[in-house]
Structure 1
């Protein structure tokens, strides 16, 4: 039996964490045992879902992700598993350094096209050293891989770098008759929904600034998620006089039901590695309007609609067109559903499983 340990900073709400919630139960079977190690325990719906699926979760209970003593505490875990699959920084660094004393086969998944280390001269040499410690580096989109290779200055044909697109369970987003438990929605005929953590990256502010330019009545602009920029967005809605059209639903665990109840999905971001939420909207047969940025563009282009990042007027035009033109709405929805089928999570799990087997067999070229 192959034993795989996934390592991530924590199970707080995020795209990489959502990926693990979805794929780990599908990987855990009679031929493969998967476990999860978190640097820091966080009480979240993601933690509960993985635990309830029968996946063993270890925790270092570290008070800070950035504590270098994590390196020493990782060593015993690296010795126990055939392959260790790492997600996110600083787990990326700590596992690479801990493995100097162990020599376990390591895999890292790159989840974003951008981070605060990129472009800083001091990190260039460090990053090249760290990434060399991994047998395989997986990127979740073609653009993610391209930008990472440019940053690390690696050869275009370096076989350590491969692409495995993110996926979702399409069955989770089939139409249902469930009534969502939310306030302030009953008086509106259509819901424009954005599901994202509130952060500078996600840019909910542009969506709020677009609302005054959308001359359609009976539309509720809903935001699901929490994070550091939430209060700033509340204040912006008040300043623009659109608070009566905006609702903040907080952190939700019923995402498929929210998407099913919505009319249009929006993903406004300044950067993305992939755009998992965009795929979820498309799987729910909803048109997605997304910012034209690396990673997200490759998922949405020629199916949903793209607008220049931060351009509230272009965003408003795209949303308005979908609201007022039913035939156009149906055409875009159909294209989105067709695109979503490319990202069936079972394809992703199959590729990961084959990769693990090949690495243990000494076959590195995909």
Structure 2
């Protein structure tokens, strides 16, 4: 099968890492894969040598859009895909425009959140162009329901396709635990970890305020935050105002996430909104105790293998973190095993790739 994947960018984020992992897995199964990213430089790239990656360098200008449409059209005509799968809102709208001038055997449009980071106009654009796709997907049942409720798609025109975790990559690494904890200066201290862009939807102020409460009862605890984004200065100011400068580590973009996850004692997700919660699944695959806000598809991921609290409630988040830190080692070991087994059973990359290929090859996709 010849598969073309089109995504807005290849930055260090959950959707981008998933698409790169899927591209690798499809290629390893013998499929021809073309991966097109519209903007920026590729920060995450496929490892399989047979995946062709094309960057368009597109910006916000109408001329840049026209040039990119022409270039991708030419590339797809040469590649002759059996299916095009677009990911994230800008790439999905781009692929729909492209289909007006380029015949595509099949076009699948994939969202990765409750509203793809936009408001009514973005949902209206989805609905207006829905007739141009064969089927849309989203990463959780709750995200699908949100798109239907917002009028972006009609019922039955969007299906759930859960994210997949490369369990061969994300697993507990004992040596890395020792090394990373030494590097972070917390060899004999409890370590909390959060991973994700420093963006409003991740609600890091919620985490930092909860951590201030935890710090009052567990003096030696450290919080590490891996990720970069527009709110870094604001978050650093909040840390200073709460007197936590010596206890919070902003790590920036990291490419050793499995190692960091192995190092932590508790992984924390503080988001106010998530589509799936990919980092939660990755932490579970690494055998970590997870404390997460109950938003989007996170409940579907965690099940009974972690602790869930309401979003935007630092008091309850702090209480859950304190509970997790106080667990006896034997209980922690059982939770770690249950978490790993849940991801292997339900959300492994192999499972996800098989489901995607079954969707791609389905004799009859739902129609408008």
TM-score by length of 2: 0.89
Question: In 2, Cα distance between the equivalents of 1:115 and 1:16?
Answer: 11
Where does residue 170 of structure 2 map in the other structure? Answer: 173
Where does residue 138 of structure 2 map in the other structure? Answer: 139
Question: In 1, Cα distance between the equivalents of 2:101 and 2:294?
Answer: 43
Listed one character per residue, the Cα deviations across residues 199-255 of structure 1 (whole Å, up to 9, x for unaligned) are 101111111111221111322111111111112111111110111111111111111
Question: In 2, Cα distance between the equivalents of 1:242 and 1:11?
Answer: 33
Q: Aligned to 2:107, what secondary structure does the other structure show? A: strand
Q: Are 1:322 and 1:328, in contact at CA under 8 Å, matched by a contact in 2?
A: no
The one of 340, 343, 347 aligned to 1:343? 347
Listed one character per residue, the Cα deviations across residues 290-318 of structure 1 (whole Å, up to 9, x for unaligned) are 11112222222422111121211111111
The one of 44, 56, 61 aligned to 1:60? 56
Where does residue 73 of structure 1 map in the other structure? Answer: 71
Q: Aligned to 1:23, what secondary structure does the other structure show? A: helix
Residues 265, 123 of structure 1: alpha-carbon distance in 2 compared, 3 angstrom cutoff:
closer
Q: Are 2:135 and 2:366, in contact at CA under 8 Å, matched by a contact in 1?
A: no
Where does residue 23 of structure 2 map in the other structure? Answer: 24
Question: In 1, Cα distance between the equivalents of 2:256 and 2:61?
Answer: 29
Listed one character per residue, the Cα deviations across residues 13-62 of structure 1 (whole Å, up to 9, x for unaligned) are 11110101211111014641011111124142x03xx1664411112222
Where does residue 7 of structure 1 map in the other structure? Answer: 6
Q: Aligned to 1:316, what secondary structure does the other structure show? A: helix
Where does residue 229 of structure 1 map in the other structure? Answer: 231
The one of 278, 282, 304 aligned to 1:302? 304
Question: In 2, Cα distance between the equivalents of 1:173 and 1:155?
Answer: 36
Matched, 1:203 2:207: no
Where does residue 243 of structure 2 map in the other structure? Answer: 241
The one of 354, 357, 361 aligned to 2:361? 357
Question: In 1, Cα distance between the equivalents of 2:117 and 2:343?
Answer: 31
After superposition, residues 255-294 of structure 1 pair within 5 angstroms as 255-294=257-296
Question: In 1, Cα distance between the equivalents of 2:353 and 2:123?
Answer: 32
Q: Aligned to 2:193, what secondary structure does the other structure show? A: strand
Question: How many Å apart are 1:123 and its aligned residue?
Answer: 5.0
Q: Aligned to 1:297, what secondary structure does the other structure show? A: helix
Root mean square deviation of aligned Cα: 2.3
Matched, 1:128 2:132: no
Q: Aligned to 2:36, what secondary structure does the other structure show? A: strand
Q: How many residues were matched structurally?
A: 355
Q: Aligned to 2:200, what secondary structure does the other structure show? A: coil
Select between 220-229 and 164-173 the one with higher mean Cα deviation.
164-173
Question: In 2, Cα distance between the equivalents of 1:108 and 1:193?
Answer: 33
After superposition, residues 111-122 of structure 1 pair within 5 angstroms as 111-118=112-119, 120=120, 122=121
Where does residue 108 of structure 2 map in the other structure? Answer: 107
Listed one character per residue, the Cα deviations across residues 84-103 of structure 1 (whole Å, up to 9, x for unaligned) are 11011211112101111122
Residues 325, 30 of structure 1: alpha-carbon distance in 2 compared, 3 angstrom cutoff:
closer
Where does residue 329 of structure 1 map in the other structure? Answer: 332
Q: Aligned to 1:107, what secondary structure does the other structure show? A: strand
Please list every run of 5 or more consecutive structure 1 residues that lacks an aligned counterpart in the other structure: none
Question: In 2, Cα distance between the equivalents of 1:18 and 1:53?
Answer: 17
Q: Are 1:188 and 1:219, in contact at CA under 8 Å, matched by a contact in 2?
A: no
Please list every run of 5 or more consecutive structure 2 residues that lacks an aligned counterpart in the other structure: none
Residues 187, 351 of structure 1: alpha-carbon distance in 2 compared, 3 angstrom cutoff:
closer
Q: Are 1:41 and 1:61, in contact at CA under 8 Å, matched by a contact in 2?
A: yes
TM-score by length of 1: 0.90
Residues 51, 133 of structure 1: alpha-carbon distance in 2 compared, 3 angstrom cutoff:
same
